[in-house]
Structure 1
Amino acid sequence: MLVESREIHHTHSRMFERALFALCLLTLVLFQSAASCELRPVLAQVPKRLPAGYVIPETKDGLSLKGCAAKPVAYTSSDPDFTVNTDGAIITVHGLEITTKQFSVLVQDENGMDWRVDIILSCKDEASQKSSSVALKRTKRRWRPLPFNLVENDKPPFPKDLETIASDSSVNYTVYYVISGQGVTTDPVGLFTLNRNTGLLKVTRTVDREQYPQFNFIARVFDMSGRETDEYLPITVIVQDQNDNAPEFIGGRFFTVEERCRAGTVIGKVNATDKDEPNTPHTLIKFTLHNATDMFSIDSFTGVITSKTNTLDRETQDKVYVEIEIRDMGGAPSGHFSRGTFVITLTDVNDNPPTFKEKLYKASVQENQENVLVTRIPVEDKDLVNTPNWKALFEVTKGNESGNFRMETDPKTNEGLLYVIKGLDYEKTPLVKLEITARNEAPLVGPENKWLSVPLELSVGDVDEGPEFNPDTLFLKVKENVANGTVIGTYKALDPEKKNSDGIKYYKMTDPGNWITVVENTGELKTANTLDRESPLVRNDMYNITIRAVDESKKTGTGTVIIKIQDVNDNIPMITNPDPILCNKGDTLSSVLVEAMDLDRPPYSIPFIFELGADHDGSWKLKDTTDSSVVLEQTMPMPNGLYSVPLLVKDLQGFGKEQTVNVRVCTCEREDNGGTCGARSASSSLGSLGILALVLSGLLLLLLSLLLIFICSTKRDKLYINDDTGTGGMLLKSNTEAPGEEVKEGALMIIPGIGLDVVDGSLQSGLMESKNVTTASGRYGQSFFQGGGVYNTTTQEFGTEKYYSSGRYDNNLYGNATMQKLTNASALDTWKTNGRYLDRKLAYFGDEEEGRYADDLLKTYGHEGMGSPAGSVGCCSIVGEQESLEFLNTLSPKFRPLADVCYTTNRTGN
């Protein structure tokens, strides 16, 4: 009974609620005006997977604006995944998968009003699609409420009822509800309250959507024992936007554009924003220009500013202040708006040429003045100061054909400065008319603009001037070699004021060759010396002099006389290579090129005529004649020597003389550059120098002989020499006439045991490098006086090879013991050392005090051949009669074999 009474109670409650709802709905309809109505969200269940083009027909009624006075005419979806058909049905744009989906559709009615309708899509419950038996066994219960909507800025009184939430578990249990989360227990706390028993949700105060676009909290349901009878329900409260914010400007407010830009030039973009909900009429901003509409325009929905004309003029107005309005609701009168001022700066272009302040300028200057400022010419320019569009450049466009003027610009005042750089002549032009043109550094813009010019009259003041030659430069033609005193011309000057030459005297200023004299009173020019065209003072046949004219007031003027000297035939051709070299090629005939030169010019020079002289012997002939050369060729082979060939050379006019060409025939070392003779052979004549050399060589040999006699007759001290050299005697044993293969070029005899305490300078000089003390040279020989001995060297030339022969004759046994630099450079030094060693050893064996005569000792000698006219070469044969000098008579044949040992012959090339 209790349960039944409870059910009856609930049934009555529901009936009461429905009646109350119908009454409220009737009241709302009655009080609704024709211009407004309230729309509820559209709820629809759809499959979890929606293919592209899926139609949700349940949305037609929700978007039809039922209960409103106007009908819908356009729909706009806030979600790009969905679009709205013209009948109000929502269609998917592409396939997608959802669990829940919430978006809004903007509905525009026929009166231009916009309405927002929230669309809430949820997946179909698969369990509800099963059989009824399965449905009775469900364990999960569902809440009936869906997301709620709340209008921002709602007017009091508060609290206001929002929605009622209920759980299906309330059918079986007595339950109560609890909410928590954003707007309830967290900031903003207490915004929402809930009737625990009925589930009625209320809002307690005004909400700002721009601060809180939606709220998310949860609702839970419990029975009286505190057990949760259903899963908690996430609740979303969407705050519906109202157009409560005016649009605002963002970004800069300054723009620039060139003056005279073409129409349609983009100047800049005005940016604005609106805090209301995006993509709704509340944020649809329209831009409107309120002034300067004849100069600029602005796009209503992009805010781009463009120029409207091509006549923007910076000089008229360089800054334009434009007022721009931005209004939401697409510019509807009911929309909120803001206004702002923007600055558009016009930049300068050169659209204004410099203009002159006067129509005619006048100035004056004294004649003959140079590099002086004549006048200043001011100009005006409307372009921006101190820019290339403003800075002026001036030019004399007429009247400056002679280059008398120069124009500059004063950088501070921008005035034109006219200078005279070359003096003017009052007598010629007392008044000079000029045209001055002014330009800018930058090019001029605009086809209608052009550079401007102004006339200027310059008066030239008269000054008493010196005489002037007319012309400034006088040209005269004179043949060279004319007689002295010949009048070649007259050069007079005029007084500029009097226009005559009265009282003017003439003087010569420059005359490099002193060839001309000037008659003082008449200005006549006469030759004073021979005019020579071939002189180095003449260049390109021109000879210059300068003349000075002096009037009675001592004022002067100068003039130049250029004399063109004409050529005459005053030079004959001369051979330039009178001593050629001809290379001897044996039986082959050779030739040599002979060249000539004439200082005159054609027709007084080339082509030359070459002929052999009358006294030629027929050994030569001429061939291959050119304008200035001829080939001289042998007619028969000739031995080496010097040959004189008479050669007659004449110019084109037949003037010339016979000249001698001395041809040297020789054996050439090189044949380039005309050939180079080699050294003369020994068979050639000696000449004076050769004879002198032979005489000197004979005298040196005589002196050497006397030195040897003196050495042999001089008493000598004892000298002990260790004779353990193992040489087998004084001479090397050899069966050949020349050194054997075992003998090296560097040392033909090795002398051991010779120390510095025994061997003195005379012996060391053979082992060491000798220093020349005195040299007597000749053509065929040279004598060297060295250390303690004299060495004679004779050189003979045979073709290109030289032969040297030398002999050594020592006149000092002990000599100078000074140490010299050791060297074994040549076999000649070795032979010198060997000779000194043999002399010392002979003296040792010839010592009488010890009784060791050379004839008491057994010596070993090699076989000397078939016999010798000199007999024995032993030392004992000459020491037996040591006290007598008669051995000198037989010294030569006995000495020759021993001297041959020391005699060396070196063959060297050049």
Structure 2
Amino acid sequence: MRRNSTHTHSHSRMYERALFALCLLTLVLFQSAASCELRPVLAQVPKRLPAGYVISEVTLKGCVAKPVAFTSSDPDFTVNTDGTIITVRGLEITTKRFSVLVQDENRSDWRVDIILSCKDELSQKSSSAAHKRTKRRWRPLPFSVVENDSPPFPKELEMIASDSSVNYTVYYQISGQGVTTDPVGLFILNKNNGMLSVTRAVDREQYPQFNFIARVYDVSGRETDAFLPITVNVEDKNDNAPEFIGGRFFTVEERCRAGTVIGQVNATDKDQAKTAHTLIKFTLHNATDMFSIDPFTGIITAKTNTLDREAQDKVYAEIEIRDMGGAPNGLFSRGTVVITLTDVNDNPPTFKEKLYKAKVQENQENVLVTRIQVEDKDLVNTPNWKALFEVTKGNESGNFRMETDPKTNEGLLYVIKGLDFEKTPLVKLEITARNEVPLVGPDTKWLSVPLELSVGDEDEGPEFNPGILYLKVKENVANGTVIGTYKALDPENKNSNGIKYYKMTDPGNWITVVENTGELKTANTIDRESPLVHKDMYNITIRAVDESKKTGKGMVIIQIEDVNDNMPVIPGTDLIMCSKDDTLSSVLVEAVDMDQRPYSTPFIFELGADQDGKWKLKDTTESSVVLEQAVAMPTGLYSVPLLVKDLQGFGKEQTVNVRVCTCEREENGVGICGARSASSSLGSLGILALVLSGLLLLLLSLLLIFICSTKRDKLYISDDTGTGGMLLKSNTEAPGEEVKDGALMMIPGAEVVDGSLQSGLMESKNVTSASGRYGQQFFQGGGVYNTTTQEFGTEKFYSSGRYDNNIYGNNTLQKLSNTSALDTWKTNGRYLDRKLAYFGDEEEGRYADDLLKTYGHEGMGSPAGSVGCCSILGEQESLDFLNTLGPKFKPLADVCYTTNRTGN
């Protein structure tokens, strides 16, 4: 029992809970229903309602949920999302009842009754004061007008109305684009009933849309509602045909592959975009075998790979553009597209003849033989058209050259090396013509043509065979030795009869050619070491002359074989050995031999038999040896005998002068000797040479005074030196006559440039004497000149001989001795003797008309004064002594001249 009681109690509790929840839900729904005020909409409207007329507005007052959707039960009316009721079409009513289904955001449905009643204008006016309404927004749907519509005009479009017209007597006004602004007066409005009309046709391409506003006023001129924005769309008509835009000229290479894009044709349509009115289709009406066009992109492509510029260089393709996607009723335009084919080298040059013939005389060179004409279908004056010619067969010897005439494009065949009729009377050639650029196309190739060239015969001179003769000869062979024979043949009869041979070039005059036989004999010693020999070869040229005086030329190359005719020589025999810190020093001795191996290196170096044991040799190489001190030696000059022999043992003993000195510094690791005094280095013989040189310079100064001349001006010697010296003799010398004014000597043909006399160098001789450095003298026509580059003991004398080529001119001073420096003085003495004899001559034009007189005693009052050397050289600040020779010169000339005639 208890158990059943418990079960009954639990069921009772569950029932109470469910009843409570149901009551709560009923209460909520009741409160919600009670909160929503669903009143019917009562509206008085005109009897005639235009489409888009705003009736009233549906609202749910007091509802928690917001309305989201409205549905009208009458198809003549629609409800906007904001609850505004609008007529769908124009209609006339007396009364109208329908309902609007409202759905809120909770998906609850509510129904609102709409009751419309028609009230006449008088009743509206009487009741307008009693039923005032607040302003509402009026939003009619956009109106539309068809462009370019046909008359009659004006045409009614739509009616606009404000719901304030229910309560007021109103009138309407419009303003804005198409009304009060451009285009003015296009739209008009019936101010009483709100009917909007268009007055004329309109072009959509010019005005696609109009925007203006409408306002509503009561009879007092007060706006009874907010202004209404009105939009009028101009509906498009397909009244514009497509038009071409952009360029219509394209280029493409001939023989391009199929599918090559050539270009794109562009078009436009003024009608409304993204409609069938602007959907353009492209159609190609000709040249369809060559090109194709995409119907909707206008891209032109090549349809074949055989486009040929030579057949047609420009293609005029007619293209149609039609709108409506190409439909028959679409509007269209047609235009021409020009496609230019550019040239490629697909045509080789072709010859006009199958065989060319020409003729040329033998031995002719650099002559034009013939012209070869070709044709090329490619574009003229382009690399595809310009021809290049080549002799591809028959020019193995390089006899021919081909060029191209730039104006006619003809091939010009030249002979650049003479042809030989006896060898080839008929030359067969093959000429190939090409272009400057490669050919295009698999089936094209360069063409060739044969050419026969006849060689004309003519009498030719003898020809040497071979053209260059090589002979091997040992140097130093005896004169008169026959080294070979070089003969020439007559090309016509192939023999050497009547041909004579002459030598053309032989720089060393080593070879003699036998005139009748062509034998080559040695005339002088052949020396391989001569500077005329290059790489052991010596060249001579021979001329052969036949009986008709025609000549031929040949060359003989003598390859000279070496013999051992030169011994090793030490070129630098004066060596310097620098000692440092009491260490034994050494110096490198090098030798040279003009011969080649095996007659030269490696050399054998040995100390001479007279060596004193102070030296030793080490570190011998092929051409050098190191000379080293065997014992320590003081500084000084030492002579060391060295025997140098070549590989064959041919050589001689040579003396090397080694100067031992003390190192003061090092440069690049090599010791450098210090400075030394001139007296210690020259020795007694050097000092004597210096004294003699000073005396010689004194004499030369005197001679310069006597014979200097500038620009043919006369030379005078002044007599007013003012010296007090006197020349004493056993007899007395009278003052003597005045020497005539004038130049002492005129040098015929001599010109003076910058104070120096010009003359030719005639002769030079070397005189070897004691070693050392002194100076160099040059005796030249017109003066004596000194330099400072001559080694002491080696003097060069030059005599140009420009004194009328008489007893003084063209003289060669002879060397007297090779051992004594005093011989130099004697040589100069002879020169001075001849000079004095020349001035003492009584020949007409000389300045010795006043003969020299000798007196027994020269007194104190002599007008000549002293003739001492010092008086002559004392006045160097004045050159007035040149104005006259004066009496001062005469005693000196008399003494010297008399001594010369009586002495030595």
On whether the aligned pair clears a TM of 0.5, the verdict is yes
Report matched runs for 1:435-834 at 5 Å: 435-583=430-578, 588-667=583-662, 676=673, 678-679=675-676, 687=684
Contact 1:581 1:674 in 2 (8 A): no
- 1:368 aligned onto 2:363: yes
2:165 to 162, 170, 177: 170
Letter in 2 for 1:534: E
How far is the alpha carbon of 1:475 from its aligned partner? 0.3
Distance 2:132 2:192 in 1: 27
Contact 1:250 1:271 in 2 (8 A): yes
Deviates further, 269-278 or 621-630: 621-630
- 1:13 aligned onto 2:8: no
Cα distance change, pair 204–401 in 1 and its aligned pair in 2 (3 A): same
Aligned to 1:153: 148
Distance 1:474 1:269 in 2: 78
- 1:325 aligned onto 2:352: no
Distance 1:547 1:326 in 2: 91
How far is the alpha carbon of 1:454 from its aligned partner? 1.6
Cα distance change, pair 626–216 in 1 and its aligned pair in 2 (3 A): closer
How far is the alpha carbon of 1:495 from its aligned partner? 0.5
Contact 1:581 1:677 in 2 (8 A): no
Distance 1:442 1:372 in 2: 29
Cα distance change, pair 684–146 in 1 and its aligned pair in 2 (3 A): closer
Letter in 2 for 1:152: E
How far is the alpha carbon of 1:366 from its aligned partner? 0.8
Contact 1:581 1:675 in 2 (8 A): no
Contact 1:180 1:217 in 2 (8 A): yes
How far is the alpha carbon of 1:504 from its aligned partner? 0.2
1:345 to 340, 343, 346: 340
Cα distance change, pair 647–425 in 1 and its aligned pair in 2 (3 A): same
Letter in 2 for 1:679: R
Distance 1:57 1:663 in 2: 138
Distance 1:252 1:180 in 2: 45
**Which runs of 5 or more residues in structure 2 are unaligned?**
1-41, 58-67, 76-80, 85-103, 114-130, 692-904
Deviates further, 208-217 or 519-528: 208-217
Contact 1:583 1:677 in 2 (8 A): no
Which runs of at least 4 in structure 1 moved beyond 6 Å after TM superposition? 8-12, 55-59, 97-100, 129-133, 670-675, 681-686, 688-694
Cα distance change, pair 577–99 in 1 and its aligned pair in 2 (3 A): farther
Contact 1:361 1:455 in 2 (8 A): yes
Aligned to 2:265: 270
Cα distance change, pair 484–283 in 1 and its aligned pair in 2 (3 A): same
Letter in 2 for 1:301: F
How far is the alpha carbon of 1:9 from its aligned partner? 15
Distance 2:342 2:424 in 1: 48
Contact 1:612 1:622 in 2 (8 A): yes
Cα distance change, pair 604–219 in 1 and its aligned pair in 2 (3 A): closer
**Offset from partner CA, 1:816-847 (integer Å, 9 cap, x none):** xxxxxxxxxxxxxxxxxxxxxxxxxxxxxxxx
- 1:289 aligned onto 2:323: no
Aligned to 2:218: 223
Distance 1:400 1:407 in 2: 11
Secondary structure of the residue that 1:330 maps to in structure 2?
Answer: helix
Contact 1:281 1:330 in 2 (8 A): yes
Distance 1:488 1:370 in 2: 35
Distance 1:604 1:614 in 2: 24
How far is the alpha carbon of 1:512 from its aligned partner? 1.2
Cα distance change, pair 12–198 in 1 and its aligned pair in 2 (3 A): closer
Aligned to 1:384: 379
Cα distance change, pair 688–199 in 1 and its aligned pair in 2 (3 A): closer
How far is the alpha carbon of 1:279 from its aligned partner? 1.4
Contact 1:646 1:658 in 2 (8 A): yes
**Which runs of 5 or more residues in structure 1 are unaligned?**
1-7, 22-39, 46-54, 63-96, 101-123, 695-910
Letter in 1 for 2:604: I
Contact 2:538 2:558 in 1 (8 A): yes
How far is the alpha carbon of 1:677 from its aligned partner? 6.9
Contact 1:373 1:420 in 2 (8 A): yes
How far is the alpha carbon of 1:147 from its aligned partner? 2.1
Secondary structure of the residue that 1:397 maps to in structure 2?
Answer: strand
Secondary structure of the residue that 1:597 maps to in structure 2?
Answer: coil
How far is the alpha carbon of 1:298 from its aligned partner? 1.3
Aligned to 1:298: 293
Contact 2:574 2:658 in 1 (8 A): yes
Aligned to 1:803: none
How far is the alpha carbon of 1:141 from its aligned partner? 2.6
Secondary structure of the residue that 1:169 maps to in structure 2?
Answer: helix
Letter in 1 for 2:612: D
Letter in 1 for 2:481: T
- 1:236 aligned onto 2:231: yes
TM-score (norm 2): 0.60
How far is the alpha carbon of 1:381 from its aligned partner? 0.9
Contact 2:528 2:560 in 1 (8 A): yes
**Offset from partner CA, 1:237-275 (integer Å, 9 cap, x none):** 222111122111122221111212222222222121212
Distance 1:198 1:132 in 2: 29
1:431 to 403, 426, 432: 426
Letter in 1 for 2:273: P
Aligned to 1:400: 395
Distance 1:693 1:343 in 2: 106
How far is the alpha carbon of 1:619 from its aligned partner? 3.0
Distance 1:249 1:330 in 2: 16
Contact 2:139 2:228 in 1 (8 A): no
Distance 2:357 2:472 in 1: 47
TM-score (norm 1): 0.59
Letter in 2 for 1:222: Y
Distance 1:313 1:656 in 2: 89
Contact 1:666 1:678 in 2 (8 A): no
Report matched runs for 1:49-68 at 5 Å: none
Contact 2:500 2:518 in 1 (8 A): yes
Distance 1:141 1:369 in 2: 119
**Offset from partner CA, 1:841-874 (integer Å, 9 cap, x none):** xxxxxxxxxxxxxxxxxxxxxxxxxxxxxxxxxx
Cα distance change, pair 212–12 in 1 and its aligned pair in 2 (3 A): closer
Cα distance change, pair 213–587 in 1 and its aligned pair in 2 (3 A): closer
Distance 1:215 1:235 in 2: 8
Distance 2:261 2:195 in 1: 59
Aligned to 2:195: 200
Secondary structure of the residue that 1:580 maps to in structure 2?
Answer: strand
Distance 1:376 1:295 in 2: 41
Distance 2:138 2:605 in 1: 142
Identical-residue share of aligned pairs (%): 80
Contact 1:586 1:637 in 2 (8 A): no
How far is the alpha carbon of 1:166 from its aligned partner? 1.9
Deviates further, 541-550 or 176-185: 176-185
Letter in 2 for 1:504: I
How far is the alpha carbon of 1:678 from its aligned partner? 4.5
Letter in 1 for 2:344: V
**Offset from partner CA, 1:749-791 (integer Å, 9 cap, x none):** xxxxxxxxxxxxxxxxxxxxxxxxxxxxxxxxxxxxxxxxxxx
